[in-house]
Structures are given as C-alpha cells and as structure tokens.
Amino acid sequence: MSLASFQDLLDAAHRQPEPQRLLFVFAKVELPENASAQQRERFENREGGTLTPSLCVDKAPADIESFAALVAESATTGQAWDMVFVGSLAGRAGIAPSADEAAQPLRFMVNAINNGQVAQFATFDRNGAVLQFG
C-alpha cells in the first residue's frame, strides 16, 4: 500500500476488516559515537546517522485525531524525536487488540529499528511527510 499522508494511514486502518491497534515508535537521528569525517558530513546533510528509539505508544485509530494532535501529545513527554515509525496489530473476531497485547510487538519494532530493519514500517517526519527507506 502506498501512503501519501498520515491521514491515508488512518483511513486504511479504519477500512481493515478487523479492528486495528496502531503501534508508534518515535526515534531520534543521532551522530554515531566515534563517527568518521564522512559520517559527520552525511549527518550534517541529513543523509545519515543512527536511529535511536526514544518513545513508544500504541493507540486505537479512533483515538488519533490527526498527525498534529499526535505530535502535540508527544511533546508532553519531553522526549525528542525526528521521525515516527508506525506498525499495526489486527484484532480478532471483531475485538481490537489491547494495550497489553501491543507490548511485545512494540518491543519487536524497537529491536527492528535498532537493527536498521525499518522498511516494513510506515515512517513520517516531524511534519507528517512520508519517509521512504531504500
């Protein structure tokens, strides 16, 4: 599925045959420790860096008014972030997954991001623009 906006993601979640729980991992882009001159240059050009998860949350799609509301809510945590990775968890038999059921998949997302395996997630920058990883 191709996304042009965060609203596309919310709309797709609402159209699924089973209720969804959206999983969010907010991450910072940081300069690697002991970075080479080339790594520093790429980082300064916003073309490289290390992804560090800084905040995780799960929400029902109906609980998300907009991307701007999600950003505002994240600001209340005091955690800095540059991009947000989004996954989803489908319910069963018309029952949405609970927050407890989302805990382990969120840990898997954090591990995947730490390992650089980010292509399977929808990703947005702080302005809500869709990011693509190649």
Q: Give the pLDDT confidence score for residue 70 in this predicted structure.
A: 96
pLDDT tens digits in sequence order for the chain, 134 residues long: 578 999 999 999 999 999 999 999 999 988 878 888 888 888 788 777 889 999 999 999 999 999 999 999 999 999 999 999 999 999 999 999 999 999 999 999 999 999 989 999 999 999 999 998 76
Sorted by where each begins, the domain ranges of the chain are: 6-125
Q: Give the pLDDT confidence score for residue 1 in this predicted structure.
A: 58
Q: Give the pLDDT confidence score for residue 134 in this predicted structure.
A: 63
Q: Give the pLDDT confidence score for residue 130 in this predicted structure.
A: 94
Helix (H) or strand (E) holding 52: strand 50-59
Residue among 46, 51, 56 at smallest CA distance from 26? 56
Chain position carrying tokens 């790429």:
42
d(CA 10, CA 61): 6
Q: Give the pLDDT confidence score for residue 6 in this predicted structure.
A: 95
Identify whether the C-beta of residue 21 lies closer than 8 Å to the C-beta of residue 62: no
Backbone angles phi, psi at 19, to 5 degrees: -60, 145
User: How far lies 1's CA from each of 24, 77, 85, 95, 121, in Å?
Assistant: 18, 31, 16, 24, 11
Q: The whole model's pTM is what?
A: 0.92
Distance of CA 125 to the CA centre of its chain: 9
